[in-house]
Amino acid sequence: MGRTAATLWHASFSIAAAVLYFVFVLPRWWELMGDTSHALGTSLRIVTGVVIALAALPVVFTLLRTRKPEYGTPQLALNLRTGSIVAHVLAGVLIVGTAISEIWLSLDNVGQWLFGIYGAAAAIAVLGIAAFYLSFVAELPPPPPKPIKPKKPKRRLRRKRKEEAETDEAEADEAEKVEESEEESGETTVEAGEPESTAEEPESAADELPAADDTVAAEEPRGGLRNRRPSGKSSRRRRRSRGGIAVEDK
């Protein structure tokens, strides 16, 4: 049996059972008001139970068809159909058995118990109907997994501040190195200019020596023998210039 035929069969039997249940099982207004006889009500209650039980037939045929290995039906769908069959049969048996027991039992004495059994049977039948339709949902393939979105790396605030501080320190160090290199280049230029001045100083000192000799020669006649050294020894004078060069005067 195909899925469409089984669904229509089950739906038609379920609707018919629901109408019969509402009219002749609970709340059975027409029978309680005296419009229908008790015998008619009892027979229709038995029919209601049988219809609910027969609604399990399309479920049975669907289960037999989908149990084959080539269909690859999920185990959950098979379990739901098995439970639906049990629920339909159990609900039908409860309704039929309670309707038959009303022949000997009085509603005035055990009516609340009988109505409780009818209510439980209706709840079980609803569960069986729902399980049958949910079994088709269980056959659907699972949805494809959603692609995992790559997580964006979150940089902490402290780490960011630390990196900024490191960059500032690196820039400051580079600036200091540039200033030091400029100062060193300036010092080398100044040191290169100093030897010229030292080389010029001896020439000026040498120019001053003849002038000093002339003054000494001019003072000798005036002073006579004052502070005159022996002639045998050569008078030599050493003068030290500013640049550290010794100059001899004869």
* Cα separation, 30 vs 24, whole angstroms: 8
Burial code (b: 16+ CB inside 10 Å, e: under 16) for 56-65 equals: bbbbbbbbee
pLDDT per residue of the chain (250 residues) written in tens, 0 to 9? 788 899 999 999 999 999 999 999 988 888 888 888 888 989 999 999 999 999 999 999 999 999 988 888 899 999 999 999 999 999 999 999 999 999 888 888 888 999 999 999 999 999 999 999 999 999 888 888 888 877 765 555 566 666 666 776 767 667 776 666 766 665 555 454 444 444 444 444 444 444 444 444 444 444 444 555 555 444 445 555 445 555 554 4
Alpha-carbon distances of 198 from 56, 185, 237, rounded to whole Å: 126, 21, 21
DSSP state of 140: S
What is the rounded distance in angstroms from the CA atom of residue 244 to the CA atom of residue 201?
10
Continuous segment of H or E residues that includes residue 238: strand 237-240
